[in-house]
Amino acid sequence: MQTIENVTTPKPDDIIIDVRHPDEAEQRPLVCPNNQIITVPFFNLGKCSGELDKQQSYLLYCDKGIMSRLHADTLSNQGFHKIGVFTPATKVR
């Protein structure tokens, strides 16, 4: 099993997947100007994972890191090798 690392500063080519509930993401949007952010709620990620490029680098994000860690492990088990958990140095408001 691959080790999933926590990343506080994403690389420019990392795509951040915000797995929070849509209401939560709307109320406190994730802002990371140097990265593409896609919102895929945790309850839809399994259905959407087939549309993701397995060669792309993805960082998963949620407020507490629990759902992002769980889904990062799931994607890793599905053959995604460039997966991490985004833990920003400053808290999303």
Q: Which of 21, 34, 27, 13 is nearest to 67 (CA)?
A: 21
- 48 a catalytic residue: no
Q: What is d(CA 33, CA 20) in angstroms, rounded to the nearest whole number?
A: 19
Q: Which of 16, 60, 62, 83 is catalytic?
A: 62
Residues with active-site annotation: 62
